[in-house]
Amino acid sequence: MSHPDSVLEPTADSQPGTDFIRQIVRDDLARGRHARIRTRFPPEPNGYLHIGHAKAICLNFGIAGEVHGLCNLRLDDTNPGKEDPEFVQGIKDDVEWLGYRWSELRHASDYFEVFYQAALKLIRDGKAYVDDLSAEAMREYRGTLTEPGRPSPFRERSVEENLDLFQRMRAGEFADGSKTLRARIDMRSGNMNLRDPAIYRIRKVSHQNTGDAWPIYPMYDYAHCLSDALEGITHSLCTLEFEDHRPLYDWFVDAVDLVGHPELWQGLAQAGLPTAPDKPRQIEFSRLNLSYSVTSKRKLAQLVAEGHVGGWDDPRMNTLRGLRRRGVTPAAIRRLIERVGISKQNSVIDYAIFEACIRDDLDQVAPRRMAVLDPLKLVIDNLPAGHEESIQLANHPKDERFGQREVKFGRELWIEREDFAEVPPKGFKRLIPGGEVRLRGIGIFRCDELVRDAAGEIIELHGTLDPESRAGMEGSNRKVKGTIHWVSAAHAGAAEVRVYDRLFNVPAPDDEDWLSHLNPEALQIKQGWLEPAAAAAAPEQHFQFERIGYFSADRYDHRPEQPVFNRIVTLRDVWARQEKA
């Protein structure tokens, strides 16, 4: 499967990078080593993508786009039973949502016959053998970082016996786990990946693409590098944990020698997968690690399975699906990747940097609206009952292209409870008894009276609006210390507002008791009131709720008649103050 135009172009907001990988690619092009650059993004379809994957996506597709090259999306589907078509579709959706398109959609399973024929070649060349050791015994024989491994008692089987056994493995004669095909490399190597690694294992599990055709499946390390070679990938970009695997990848590619043995892969053209094998150059880079979060697939799956979150797309999760549902934009994620850069130095990026990228993007693209999340009624006594008027407010104070909107104003308003203090703290600049504050777009209001309920709680504020302070009037420039927002009680729409925050309350939730660091305030559900122009939003539409934060209409639950909004991020970094306290 390919897109109509398989040669990639840069994204609209991309800036050509200057990192060491891009410099290598440009140098290779300048020296004529490649006619066209080919990269790939090779996820395993055993879960949904997370923020760490975004770095690999942006790097692989970004570089290909910058040099008008090709980038394949390849699903490394070599582990049936843990993979799911739902994850496959999710991966495709996430890549496209981030703003990228693949040149070709490939699967490791497209090459299963090639992998099998290549394994037969390794056996004939004396470079692979069938082992009867159990997985536990194989680990014992492998040795440790300080002790060399020992050869398996089955290592010296003849070529003929190995061919017979492997073909019988292929025919399904043996039980799961009873035999393994291993590469014959060096059991004394200082690199444990070279101590006769497994190539094939027996797994009688149905595969989502090949059904029950194969009772044996290739190991990831074997399939991954040969897939790169088969697709003619010029630059195989991997995170640093694969650096020690590079000698093994090179060994497999050299030992199989796809370029010199076209009979191994020529059937691919007949299957509609034309290819030009090449030896890829592997380059490693540091993965993206964010504070206050986890990117382990195992831990993300545990959060879902144990009900700590509502699913893989829960807005508290740092999966791409979760971030999208929360309201994070693809441009903000690309901005983060660009800001942290590409290097070989492992580090943890402060989550505040990500939040700053979100704010920087949304500040430019999010229209403004007024909303009240913790309402306190304010009554303007010098306006008649039933008073109603319309005012015009800018949709974006920094960009006239957003135009204006009509906002209804009446005698009774909702304001934020925190914008009033009966006993004000030091430096408080909003409404107090007997004090004045400017109502956004309206004028100056003076609080004259407090109304309490039977429990003594303040439930209403009464006062007067200075008619001379209205827009265009002589007193409109009169100075007061604070300005607050509001919504008309008669016209506002009720909404469920989900106030999201960081999922963990410590920067590094990576110890054995990591679940104890879940932030109990990562989700607070509030009954809010919105001006009608916000309630009528389409799903996934973004707004800045003035003086509160950036919000998005929920992708699935929001309807204009029953609005549901998610807080994406606060207007300012509230965690910085907490960390200093």
**134 falls within a domain:** no
From CA 541, how far away is CA 562, in angstroms rounded? 15
Is residue 272 classed as helix, strand or coil in its secondary structure?
coil
Q: CA triplet 4, 8, 11: central angle to 5 degrees?
A: 115
Binding-site entries for L-glutamine: 76, 220
Binding-site entries for ATP: 44-46, 50-56, 239, 287-288
From CA 277, how far away is CA 1, in angstroms rounded? 19
> What is the predicted pLDDT for the residue at 14?
55
Query: 399 lies in which domain range?
Result: 371-485
**195 falls within a domain:** no
Cα end-to-end span (Å), the chain: 55
Catalytic residue numbers?
A: 44, 287, 297
> In DSSP terms, which residues pair with 236 in a beta bridge?
282
**150 falls within a domain:** no
Count CB-CB contacts under 10 A for residue 486.
26
- Say whether both 506 and 477 belong to one domain: no
List own/partner pairs for 89-96 with CB under 8 A and 24 or more apart.
90/48, 90/49, 90/312, 90/321, 91/43, 91/45, 91/48, 91/49, 93/321, 94/48, 94/49, 94/53, 94/320, 94/321, 94/324, 95/41, 95/49, 95/57, 95/61
CATH of the domain at 299: 2.40.240.10
Q: What does the block give as tokens for 517? A: 């660091």
- Say whether both 475 and 509 belong to one domain: no
> What is the predicted pLDDT for the residue at 3?
47
**227 falls within a domain:** no
Last residue of a domain, one of 485, 504, 536: 485
Strand-pair category, 487-488 with 412-416? antiparallel
- Say whether both 356 and 383 belong to one domain: no
- Say whether both 382 and 464 belong to one domain: yes
> What is the predicted pLDDT for the residue at 5?
44
pTM over the 0.85 mark: yes
- Say whether both 498 and 575 belong to one domain: yes
**349 falls within a domain:** yes
- Say whether both 378 and 481 belong to one domain: yes
- Say whether both 475 and 387 belong to one domain: yes
Give the single-character DSSP code of 56: H
Count CB-CB contacts under 10 A for residue 205.
15
pLDDT in tens, 26-56: 999 999 999 999 999 999 999 999 999 999 9
From CA 418, how far away is CA 526, in angstroms rounded? 15
> What is the predicted pLDDT for the residue at 18?
82
Last residue of a domain, one of 466, 485, 504: 485
Q: What does the block give as tokens for 328? A: 């994070």
- Which whole-number Å values give the CA distances from 229 to 216, 232, 257, 338, 512, in the listed order? 22, 5, 9, 29, 39
**60 falls within a domain:** no
Binding-site entries: 44-46, 50-56, 76, 220, 239, 287-288
Give me the tens of pLDDT residue by residue for the chain, a chain 581 residues long: 444 445 566 665 655 668 999 999 999 999 999 999 999 999 999 999 999 999 999 999 999 999 999 999 999 999 998 888 999 999 999 999 999 999 999 999 999 999 999 999 999 999 999 999 999 999 999 999 999 999 999 999 999 999 999 999 999 999 999 999 999 999 999 999 999 999 999 999 999 999 999 999 999 999 999 999 999 999 999 999 999 999 999 999 999 999 999 999 988 876 777 678 989 999 999 999 999 999 999 999 999 999 999 999 999 999 999 999 999 999 999 999 999 999 999 889 999 999 999 999 999 999 999 999 999 999 999 999 999 999 999 999 999 999 999 999 999 999 999 999 999 999 999 999 999 999 999 999 999 999 999 999 999 999 999 999 987 777 778 889 899 999 999 999 999 999 999 999 999 998 899 999 999 999 999 999 999 999 999 999 999 999 999 999 999 999 999 999 999 999 998 766 565 54
> What is the predicted pLDDT for the residue at 1?
47
- Which whole-number Å values give the CA distances from 397 to 88, 366, 402, 465, 512, in the listed order? 42, 11, 9, 24, 48
Helix (H) or strand (E) holding 358: helix 351-365
- Say whether both 502 and 471 belong to one domain: no
Q: What does the block give as tokens for 350? A: 């402060």
> What is the predicted pLDDT for the residue at 4?
40
Q: What is the 3-state secondary structure (H, E, C) of 465-518?
A: ECHHHCCCCCCCCCCCCCEECCEECCCCEEEEEEEECCCECCCCCCCCCHHHHE
- Say whether both 356 and 376 belong to one domain: no
254: closest CA among 227, 279, 282? 279
- Say whether both 454 and 509 belong to one domain: no
- Say whether both 451 and 500 belong to one domain: no
Last residue of a domain, one of 485, 516, 537: 485
Q: CA triplet 114, 120, 125: central angle to 5 degrees?
A: 125
**501 falls within a domain:** yes
From CA 539, how far away is CA 40, in angstroms rounded? 32
Number of domains in the chain: 2
For 223: left if phi > 0, alpha if psi spans -120 to 50, otherwise beta; the answer is alpha
User: Which residue's structure tokens are 């970009």?
Assistant: 237
**208 falls within a domain:** no
Burial 397-435 (b: 16+ CB within 10 A, else e): eeeeeeeebebbbbbbbbbbeebbeeeeeeeeebbbbeb
- Say whether both 502 and 566 belong to one domain: yes
